[in-house]
């Protein structure tokens, strides 16, 4: 075999090592991304507005607050209908 055979084996070994390092690096990168996405998805979502703020917005815009009947519901009168109290 001689010197040429040893060089070919060394080149093949380096190619295998590079391939393994790339595969392992890609695996670690995918694992980190999955950890970030999975970790953030478990946080509870807080409401954007409280019921008092929603009621104030509803009344400012001319609606009737019906939050006691249906949570967060503001009723508006259509423009073509007669306005009722």
Q: What is the structure's pLDDT at 71?
A: 84
Say yes or no to pLDDT of 5 above 80: no
In terms of domains, do 55 and 33 share one?
Answer: no
53-70 pLDDT, tens digit per residue, is 999 999 999 888 988 888
Q: Which residues on neighbouring strands pair with residue 83, listed in sequence order? A: none
Name the more confident of 50 and 78.
Answer: 50
Question: What is the span of the domain harbouring residue 80?
Answer: 45-85
In terms of domains, do 18 and 51 share one?
Answer: no
In terms of domains, do 3 and 37 share one?
Answer: yes
In terms of domains, do 37 and 57 share one?
Answer: no
What are 82's two structure tokens?
A: 């007669």
17-44 pLDDT, tens digit per residue, is 888 888 889 999 999 888 877 776 667 7
In terms of domains, do 21 and 56 share one?
Answer: no
The total domain count for the chain is 2
Task: Confirm if 59 and 65 have CB atoms less than 8 A apart.
Answer: yes
pTM score, two decimals? 0.42
């Amino acid at each position: 075999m001689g010197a040429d055979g040893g060089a070919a084996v060394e080149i093949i070994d380096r190619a295998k090592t590079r391939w393994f390092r790339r595969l392992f690096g890609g695996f670690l990168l995918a694992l980190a991304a999955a950890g970030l996405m999975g970790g953030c998805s478990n946080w509870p979502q807080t409401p954007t507005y409280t019921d008092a703020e929603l009621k104030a917005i509803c009344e400012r815009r001319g609606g009737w607050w019906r939050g006691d009947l249906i949570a967060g519901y503001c009723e508006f009168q259509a423009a073509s209908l007669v306005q009722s109290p």
